[in-house]
Structure 1
Amino acid sequence: MKIREEFKVREMAGEHVIVMPGRGGAADMTRIVSLNPSSMYLWEKLRGREFTAADAALLLTERYEVDADTARKDAGRWIASLAECGIVEE
């Protein structure tokens, strides 16, 4: 899977958010997804390349003190959240 190129991260009021593209190329500021620090880390590492849930889980175990099972679950939830919003493509 891959993060779709048209989605951009912006910093707003000290938070990182994914801004959904709107009609006519303008950003739809009514539809944003907030990223916590670990989500932002995954976004930075995985944006622009193909990845799997296992790739995301490995990144989490390398950066944080988390066991592999928890990292797999967290990575799966992160991907599911992005997929639900149409941010990742197969």
Structure 2
Amino acid sequence: MKIREEYKIREMAGEHVIVMPGGGGAADMTRIVSLNPSSLYLWEALRGRDFTAEDAADLLTERYEVDAETALQDAGLWVARLAECGIVE
């Protein structure tokens, strides 16, 4: 899967959010997804390339003190949330 190019990260009120584009080229500010620091790390590391939940889990175990099973579970949830919002293709 791959993060769709039209989705952008913005900093709003000290938080990083994914702004979902609306019709006509305008951003729909009623549809945003907030990113915690580990989600932002994954976004920045994986944007622009094909990846799997396993790739995201590997990044989590490299950066954080987390076992492989927990990392894979968390990465799977992160990917599922992006897919639910239509952010990955």
Q: TM-score range by the shorter chain?
A: over 0.9
Q: Detail structure 1 runs of 4+ shifted over 4 Å in the superposition.
A: none
Q: Deviations over 1:55-75 (max 9, x none)?
A: 000000000000000000000
Q: Supply the AA of the counterpart residue of 1:25.
A: G
CA distance in 1, matches of 2:18, 2:62: 24
RMSD: 0.3
Amino-acid identity (%): 84
Alignment map for 1:1-90 (pairs within 5 Å): 1-89=1-89
**Matched residue pairs, number?**
89
Q: TM-score, normalised by structure 2?
A: 0.99
Higher strand share: 1
Task: For residue 78 of structure 1, report the CA deviation from its aligned partner.
Answer: 0.1
Cα separation, 1, equivalents of 2:52 and 2:20: 22
Write the distance in 2 (CA, Å) between the matches of 1:38 and 1:54.
15
Any stretches of 5+ residues in structure 1 without a counterpart?
A: none
SS of 1:3 mapped into structure 2? coil
